[in-house]
Chains A and B, each alone.
Chain A
Amino acid sequence: AQSVTQLDSQVPVFEEAPVELRCNYSSSVSVYLFWYVQYPNQGLQLLLKYLSGSTLVKGINGFEAEFNKSQTSFHLRKPSVHISDTAEYFCAVSALTGANNLFFGTGTRLTVIP
């Protein structure tokens, strides 16, 4: 089975500052990796995903993430955040083989301070 750990439940950051949201995963098989964003009282929207190839993945809204297989991490970064980035961010994994279900972390609430 797969599992995802998002160690930071809340991350406050000032507007225009950089941010990193951490994600570590555990799996006995190869995985695909995803970051989703959820704005208040809304569904989730895909930010980016890693399937194969380059370990640096660029997504929407200026976000990027780097897959590190040796550290089993997929941290999300943005060099300069905006007020509109305030939301909850979920890391998720799915196994390349087997049931192919998405396993989500518990989420990180990013609050951008003016």
Chain B
Amino acid sequence: DGGITQSPKYLFRKEGQNVTLSCEQNLNHDAMYWYRQDPGQGLRLIYYSQIVNDFQKGDIAEGYSVSREKKESFPLTVTSAQKNPTAFYLCASSDARGARETQYFGPGTRLLVL
């Protein structure tokens, strides 16, 4: 089955620690995205990538970093600079980087701070 997988489902971060969230897709999509979801708020774009080895900041990139070394993978690192990391993180992909394209979402990773 084609789709997007995110791991882990739950992740705990200690003070000052960097953590990495995994996102893998086998849909052969060029574009990938990371969103943050907080209770009562919509999704906010963190980073996006249109093609391998290229990515751009979204609306709330501070305290996060990404890489896109392979077409199917787009990991997100939450750094110690992100002071309020507790949230639900969603990865998505689309066939092309275009306004009309449907984005397909993974099941999400819930990050909690210890």
Contacts and interface: CB of A to CB of B under 8 A. Distances in A.
Interface of B: 4, 6, 40-45, 48, 58-59, 90, 92, 97-100, 102-108, 110
11 contacts: A41-B110, A42-B107, A43-B106, A46-B102, A51-B100, A94-B100, A97-B99, A100-B99, A103-B42, A105-B42, A106-B42
Given A9-B40, A90-B43, A106-B42, A100 B97 contact: yes
Interface residues of A, number: 28
Contacts of B106: 43
A2 to B, nearest CB: 10
A41 B99 contact: no
A113 interface: no
B48 A101 contact: yes
Contact of B98 (A90, A100, A105): A100
Contacts of A97: 99
Given A43-B4, A44-B90, A96-B99, A101 B43 contact: no
| Residue among B4, B45, B99 with the highest chain A CB neighbour number at 10 A | B99
A63 interface: no
Nearest to A51: B100
Contacts of B103: 44, 46, 102
Contacts of B59: 101
Contacts of B107: 41-43
A101 B61 CA distance: 14
Contact of A90 (B40, B42, B45, B97): B42
Contacts of B6: 43
Contacts of B41: 106-107
Nearest to B102: A46
B10 to A, nearest CB: 10
B21 to A, nearest CB: 13
